[in-house]
Structure 1
Amino acid sequence: MLGKVIQLIKRSDLVVEVLDAREPSLTRSKKIEDIIVKNYKNILLVLNKGDLVPLWVLKAWKDYFKTEENIESVYVSATSHLGTKILRDTMKSLLKGNKGIVVFVGYPKSGKSSVINALKGRHSAQTSAHPLEYGYTKSIQLFKIDNKIYAWDTPGVIPPDGNELEKTIRGYNADLLEDPVKPALMLINRVIEFSKESLISVYKVDFNNPYELLERIAIRRGWFYKSTKEPNIDMAARAVIRDYHEGKIAYYTLPPSLYRDDKSNSI
């Protein structure tokens, strides 16, 4: 899968890396960004799911990327079609007004498909198929965003990597986890660090620790182990991870330049 992503990068003029606006740092792929740099490609960061994060936080991340790393970024909410015109205009600017091909990359659940669908709109149209190189026989389609911008119709999916928390945030499928409780507890701790209230708002229960939250979710939803009749925390853990991926848990993290500020701000 990663090899296919690299092929698309090499055959494109601009790489758009789609991030989760709640966790911009943890949803960036340094490995992919190194490949982008080595192939002398422009990069644009897109903070998707921007509706889950306060505007001032989105602006702070945009300023951070530009000031500290000299990387252009935009923030959008693809499902609400907010920010797509700015995204389109920024891509044009980075292509310097020339025709070009764009590839969208990112971890699963970052919303790459939603961003692509939002850009397609009524102006897009499929063009000819192009076979991938190096032994790949399946063709993929280019679609036309406007008169000068084309994009691959299949986003470049980066396999989730890192530790258990990072893999979870980067979109690892909850249903494939043999033991979902540990990563779910790590994720809950991560959210609590910034906004416990967001979890209380979603699950309508108060709690003293992450394990208790899983128990109360299971009890509230009637999930119990058949053998012991204890709350089924495995089902609760998978539900929390899925809810996170689906954007039901709203919170935010701050760029390093602001990290020393009070990070306990609630939304």
Structure 2
Amino acid sequence: MLYILKSVISKSDLILEVLDSREPDLTRSDYVERKVLSSKKSLLIVINKADLIPLEVLRAWKEHFLSQGLNSVFVSSRLHQGTKVLRDSIKELLRGNEGIVGVVGYPKTGKSSVINALKGRHVATTSSIPLSKGFTKSIQLIKIDSKIYAIDTPGVIPPSGDPLEKALRGSKPEDLEDPVRVALKLIERIESFCPGTLAKTYKIRFVTPLDLLSNIALRRGWIYKKDREPNLDQAAVQLIRDYHEGKIMYYTIPTGFKHDKTCDI
């Protein structure tokens, strides 16, 4: 995957790094950002799934990235919100010149949706550019407008970090060694930022993270036949999958951001 990622970066004039609005810091890639900036390419942070968190928090993240010298925009590719701002930002960074845009990010951040939102009605492939031997003969370019093209094969960053970080970065829950332990940590993290959001999401009252998983399993009939105990593994996998699909609404905040309100989504 890193080989494909390097190819996308090397063939692009501008890189869009797509992040999950709920976890911008944990869905960033130091590797990608170093690679892009060291190659003298332009980088634009795209905070996707903007419909899942409040506007003032989105603006705080934008200011946070700006303080680090990084341009950013927030969009909801699912609702096609912010697409014009994204297009205008791309044109500005390309300085009106013709250019190729590469879209990279961890799995489940919405890279393909961002490409689709940019494509609009321009869906025909218009040209190709050669890649190194051993990968593929070419990758196709999608025409965005008269001067801008997007690589139609998004660069996927392999999920890294500890088990919770890997889950937040898009690892399939079925591939996790201990999904229950990861789900319990995810529940704790969500509740620490947005107390009550999981009770609202699942319409279940619970006291502990384990209590929530047990109730999810019981409500859905996921019970071991042998001892009639709730299947926590299945409930854990479902909760992580729900997070990936944007069904769980919560948000984290940048360091130093003053946010006096309760988690209001």
TM class by shorter-chain length? over 0.9
* Structural mapping, 1:138-153, within 5 Å: 138-153=137-152
Partner of 1:51: 51
Whether the aligned pair in 2 keeps the contact of 1:64 and 1:257 (CA below 8 Å) is no
Does 2:131 align with 1:132? Answer: yes
Please say if residues 213 and 235 of structure 2, whose CA atoms lie closer than 8 Å, have aligned partners that are also in contact. yes
CA distance in 2, matches of 1:227, 1:127: 59
Match of 1:34 in 2: 34
* Contiguous gaps of at least 5 residues in structure 1: none
Amino acid at match of 2:116: N
Q: Measure how far apart 1:33 and its partner are.
A: 0.7
Spell out the pairing of 1:227-246 with structure 2 (5 A cutoff): 227-246=226-245
- Greater mean deviation of Cα atoms: 20-29 or 200-209: 200-209
Cα contact 1:193–1:264 (8 A) shared by 2? no
Separation of aligned partners in 1, 2:162 and 2:51: 27
Which stretch of the first structure deviates more once superposed, 52-61 or 178-187? 178-187
In structure 2, the partner of 1:8 is 8
Kindly tell me the number of residue pairs found equivalent between the two proteins: 265
1:161-240, aligned counterparts within 5 Å? Answer: 161-240=160-239
**Secondary structure at 2:219's aligned position in 1?**
helix
Q: CA deviation at 1:163?
A: 0.8
Code of the aligned partner of 1:15: I
- Deviating runs (4+, > 6 A) in structure 1? none
Q: CA deviation at 1:202?
A: 1.2
Q: Distance in 2 between matches of 1:255 and 1:157?
A: 25
Task: Tell me if 1:253 matches 2:244.
Answer: no
Q: Following the alignment from structure 2 to structure 1, what is the Cα–Cα distance between the partners of residues 228 and 3?
A: 47
Distance 1:261 1:55 in 2: 12
- How far did residue 146 of structure 1 move? 0.5
Is the Cα contact below 8 Å between 1:125 and 1:145 reproduced in 2? no
TM-superposed deviation, 1:265: 3.0
Deviation at 1:229? Answer: 1.1
Q: Distance in 2 between matches of 1:216 and 1:156?
A: 38
Structure 2: which 5+ residue stretches go unaligned? none
Normalised TM-score (structure 1): 0.96
For residues 32-66 of structure 1, what are the alpha-carbon distances to aligned partners after superposition, in whole Å with 9 as ceiling and x for unaligned?
11111111111000010000000111011111111
Q: Distance in 2 between the 1:76 and 1:98 partners?
A: 24
Cα 1:222–1:231 shift into 2, 3 Å: same
Query: Deviation digits for residues 96-136 of structure 1, max 9, x if unmatched?
Result: 11000010000000000111111111134311233321432
**Alpha-carbon distance in 1 for matches of 2:133, 2:45:** 28
- Could you say which residue in structure 2 is the equivalent of 1:91? 90
What's 1:265 paired with? Answer: 263
Over the matched positions of the two proteins, sequence identity in percent amounts to 57
Amino acid at match of 1:43: L
Contact 1:131 1:138 in 2 (8 A): yes
Asked whether the 8 Å contact 1:194–1:266 carries over to 2, the reply is: no
* Deviation (angstroms), 1:7: 1.4
Which amino acid counterpart does residue 141 of structure 2 have in structure 1? L
Once the two structures are TM-superposed, the CA of residue 209 in structure 1 deviates from its matched residue by 1.1
Q: What is the RMSD computed on CA atoms of the aligned residues?
A: 1.3
Structure 2 contact 15–103 (Cα < 8 Å) conserved? yes
CA–CA separation in structure 2 for the residues paired with 1:252 and 1:54: 8
Q: Which moved more, 1:189-198 or 1:23-32?
A: 189-198
Residue 123 of structure 1 corresponds to which residue in structure 2?
Answer: 122
State the partner residue of 2:153. 154
